[in-house]
Amino acid sequence: MSSPEAQAWQDLGPVEAFPAGEVREATAGKGKVAISCKDGKFGVISGVCNHVGGPLGEGRLDSEYVVCPWHNWKFHRSTGQGEPGFEQDCVPSYESKVEGGHLWVRVQAATQRHKAPHERHPLARPVVRESGPIRVAGISTTAMDAANPRYSTSDALLEYPLNTARPMAMRRASSG
Ligand code: FES
């Protein structure tokens, strides 16, 4: 049986703080939630993605789905179910209501988290340690496209040699 606190409703603030077509993050109880509003209906699901914990509350809406900003997994904005083909991969969903111009959420989740496997990315392969000297490589990957522009570590790393090489080339040109 759940505690009275878990049964409680929590005020998330004025409904204007949750504009239509966008996803917002808030804290409900001890956890983060992702809140969306579409066609006048609010949806509240866990703010923690099933994949590797990405912040769903910082994602975006694609029709009825919240898209995780890290690798684009999608969860239904009201039920928490995964996108078609991955319905068994669910994040918790929460009951919500509007009262006195504020959005309220029930702290106790209405549905539970359930993880179901996704097939491996076609580029994924087992990590195998080959014999020989230690070789170190750092590779950072993100699902980045026009709809998901994000900070790129590889772009940032490239900036350094570009910014260093340009002044050196200019110095050489002016001294030669
Ligand atoms: S953490 Fe959400 S898709 Fe990877």
pLDDT tens per residue, range 23-60: 999 999 999 999 999 999 999 999 999 999 999 999 99
pLDDT for 164 beyond 80: no
Dist. CA 163 → ligand 1 center (Å): 33
pLDDT in tens, 54-81: 999 999 999 999 999 988 999 999 999 9
Dist. CA 65 → ligand 1 center (Å): 14
Q: What are φ and ψ of residue 57, in 5° steps?
A: -70, -10
pLDDT in tens, 97-142: 999 999 999 999 999 999 998 888 777 778 788 898 887 776 666 6
Chain position carrying tokens 């000297």: 133
Could you give the CA distance from residue 42 to residue 75 in angstroms, rounded to a whole number? 15
pTM, 2 dp: 0.76
Residues 35 and 19 sit within 8 Å (Cβ to Cβ): no
Dist. CA 55 → ligand 1 center (Å): 8
* Tokens matching residue 70: 């890290």
For residue 3, what pLDDT band results from cuts at 50, 70 and 90? low
Which carries the bigger pLDDT value, residue 2 or residue 86? Answer: 86
Structurally, at CATH architecture level, domain 4-106 sits in 3-layer Sandwich (2.102)
* Tokens matching residue 128: 């195998």
**What pLDDT score was predicted for residue 148?**
72
Dist. CA 70 → ligand 1 center (Å): 5
**What pLDDT score was predicted for residue 128?**
82
Whose Cα sits closest to atom 1 in ligand 1? 54
Contacting residues for 73 by C-beta, under 8 A, at least 6 apart: 49, 50, 51, 54, 67, 82, 83, 86, 89, 118
Query: What is the DSSP track for 20-58?
Result: TT-EEEEEETTEEEEEEEETTEEEEEESB-TTT--BGGG
Whose Cα sits closest to atom 3 in ligand 1? 71
**What pLDDT score was predicted for residue 123?**
74
**What pLDDT score was predicted for residue 120?**
81
**What pLDDT score was predicted for residue 90?**
98
**What pLDDT score was predicted for residue 175?**
67
